Amino acid sequence: MTAAIETGSWELDPALSTVAIAHRTIWGLVTVKGTFTGVTGQGEVKADGTAHGTVTLDAASLDTKNAKRDKHLHGSDFFDAENHPTIVFSVQNATAGQDGTVDVTGQLTARGITRPQTATAHIAAADTDAITITTEFTVDRNQFGMEWNQLGMIRGLTTVTAKLAFTRTPAQA
């Protein structure tokens, strides 16, 4: 990635990381917001500066501060967490630019359906043993079989916002 980011293996620090979603109703009167409390991940930075890895969300950990809504979102109309317990973003390639941005290409898997996903991330902080990146991108939930839409209220894209903090894993001796 950049010169300050060491090659090798990196582990996501869930205590310092957040992944959140926001989705507006058709009328724009309400934005449903939630945060995944179960987040794990890992990655590897190669000698050429590129990186790859995964970020995994526990689908049943989405918390919107409304238990009834959370139960519905975890259920078969949306995440179907019982049959598909994780949502995975597999980063196939991440390349840092000179301006602190990172072009990310990968695959997003939800409900057992995998689709290509790109994002632009920003390096918020980096040193030899830690890096924090932030990103925001949109997802069309219908592409993942989440088509429930009572009264036509839920349309448009869902915004995903992430702050991901990684620490370098010591090299194996």
| Residue 170, C-beta contacts closer than 8 angstroms, at least 6 positions apart | none
Helix (H) or strand (E) holding 120: strand 113-126
Residue 157 falls within a domain, yes or no?
Answer: yes
The predicted model gives 83-88 an average pLDDT of: 97
Residue 2 falls within a domain, yes or no?
Answer: no
For a pLDDT cut of 90, what percent of the chain falls above it? 65
pLDDT at 6 over 60: yes
pLDDT confidence of 155, banded at 50, 70, 90?
low
Residue 158 falls within a domain, yes or no?
Answer: yes
pLDDT of residue 67: 95
Domain of 79, CATH number, reads 2.40.128.110
Residue 1 falls within a domain, yes or no?
Answer: no
pLDDT of residue 2: 41
Write down the pTM of the prediction. 0.89
| Residue 71, C-beta contacts closer than 8 angstroms, at least 6 positions apart | none
pLDDT of residue 106: 97
First to last CA, the chain: 24
The predicted model gives 62-90 an average pLDDT of: 93
Backbone angles phi, psi at 141, to 5 degrees: -60, -30
For a pLDDT cut of 70, what percent of the chain falls above it? 88
Q: Print the domain residue range for 19.
A: 8-168
Residue 94 burial (CB count, 10 A): 21
pLDDT at 154 over 80: no
pLDDT of residue 77: 84
- Reported as a single tens digit per residue, the pLDDT across 30-59 is 788 999 999 999 999 999 889 999 999 999
pLDDT confidence of 163, banded at 50, 70, 90?
very high
Residue 119 falls within a domain, yes or no?
Answer: yes
Q: How many domains does the chain have?
A: 1
Residue 71 falls within a domain, yes or no?
Answer: yes
Helix (H) or strand (E) holding 95: strand 86-96
Residue 3 falls within a domain, yes or no?
Answer: no
Helix (H) or strand (E) holding 158: strand 158-168
Residue 54 falls within a domain, yes or no?
Answer: yes
